[in-house]
């Protein structure tokens, strides 16, 4: 069991990469707190894990609200006594998030609020809890678009993920000698309901797929398995990284045939 005895919070834990990670974390011995704005879906994931004899609980939380994020961490400490892993995974992509000249201000604010402020708040309240317990691992979901430009314009999303990457590096440096590691997990295009909605347009789908050297979308489980590594003691010398799981996108100089 690679995460035996650890307590982990996963935001956005009710679906996609988050739910897959909750399953992997619990399967590796962690008590997983499935945190999501949709409390009912979060409870279904937690109930599924408990039915398998694994350790899980669910909390409804809006990652953009500081009082709720503070309450999430305080509740975990009250119930479990510690926090070892904080996976700030909650995020959104909006269909009206397009070129910077065409993205409305309200869409920009919404995307930044969830994708970047949500990570900031998760770190803000997880770090003191981890320091009190002697350390921990923070994993923040960024994206390959924090490293390279997106094939399809998505200015607010790209900016938010670039911010996550920069924030993660700063946290990693600041807290490295105090027992806290922080890494940005950077997925490529993953076969989730979120991306399926974006790929309803066949032209947009073709533009995305042609840039993936391995020739397919990633699976949520593949990102979850990378998160297990970053959460575990196996990655004890890994901090401040942009941990790419992208099918080779960032490494490609030319579009493959």
Give the confidence band of 199 by pLDDT, cuts at 50, 70, 90. low
- CATH code assigned at 136: 3.40.50.720
The pLDDT of 1-9, averaged and rounded, is 97
Establish if 111 belongs to a structural domain: yes
Establish if 253 belongs to a structural domain: no
Report the C-alpha gap between 66 and 177 in whole angstroms.
Answer: 27
Token pair 């295009």: residue: 189
First CA to last CA distance, the chain: 42
* Beta carbons of 17 and 220 less than 8 angstroms apart: yes
Establish if 92 belongs to a structural domain: yes
Establish if 210 belongs to a structural domain: no
Q: What is the pLDDT of residues 146-173, one digit of tens each?
A: 999 887 889 999 999 999 999 999 999 9
Establish if 209 belongs to a structural domain: no
**pTM for this predicted structure:** 0.94
The pLDDT of 205-224, averaged and rounded, is 86
Establish if 2 belongs to a structural domain: no
Length of the chain, in residues? 257
Establish if 205 belongs to a structural domain: no
What are the distances in angstroms from CA 100 to CA 97, 103, 104, 164, 230? 8, 5, 9, 19, 33
Residues annotated as catalytic are 157
* Beta carbons of 210 and 220 less than 8 angstroms apart: no
Establish if 254 belongs to a structural domain: no
**What average pLDDT does the chain have?**
94
Number of domains in the chain: 1
Q: What is the pLDDT of residues 57-77, one digit of tens each?
A: 999 999 999 999 999 999 999
Q: What is the pLDDT of residue 219?
A: 96
Domain membership of residue 24 as a residue range? 7-189+218-246
């Amino acid at each position: 069991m690679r995460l035996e005895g650890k307590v982990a919070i996963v935001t956005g834990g009710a679906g996609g990469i988050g739910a897959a990670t909750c399953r992997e974390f619990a399967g590796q011995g962690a008590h997983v707190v499935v945190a999501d704005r949709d409390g009912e879906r979060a409870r279904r994931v937690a109930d599924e894990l408990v039915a398998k004899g694994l350790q899980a609980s669910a909390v409804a939380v809006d990652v953009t609200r500081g009082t709720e994020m503070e309450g999430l961490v305080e509740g975990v400490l009250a119930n479990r006594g510690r926090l070892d892993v904080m996976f700030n995974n909650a995020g959104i992509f909006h269909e009206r998030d397009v070129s910077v000249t065409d993205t409305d201000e309200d869409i920009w604010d919404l995307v930044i609020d969830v994708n970047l402020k949500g990570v900031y708040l998760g770190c803000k309240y997880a770090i003191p809890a981890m320091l009190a317990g002697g350390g921990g691992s923070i994993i923040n979901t960024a994206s390959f678009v924090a490293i390279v430009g997106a094939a399809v314009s998505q200015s607010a999303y790209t900016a938010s993920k670039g911010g996550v990457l920069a924030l993660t590096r700063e946290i990693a440096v600041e807290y490295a000698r105090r027992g806290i590691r922080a890494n940005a997990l950077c997925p490529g295009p993953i076969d989730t309901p979120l991306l399926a909605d974006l790929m309803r347009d066949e032209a947009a789908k073709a533009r995305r797929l042609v840039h993936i050297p391995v020739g397919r979308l990633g699976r949520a489980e593949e990102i979850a398995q990378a998160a297990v590594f970053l959460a575990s003691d196996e990655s004890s010398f890994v901090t401040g990284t942009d941990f790419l799981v992208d099918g080779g996108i960032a490494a490609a100089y030319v579009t493959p045939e």
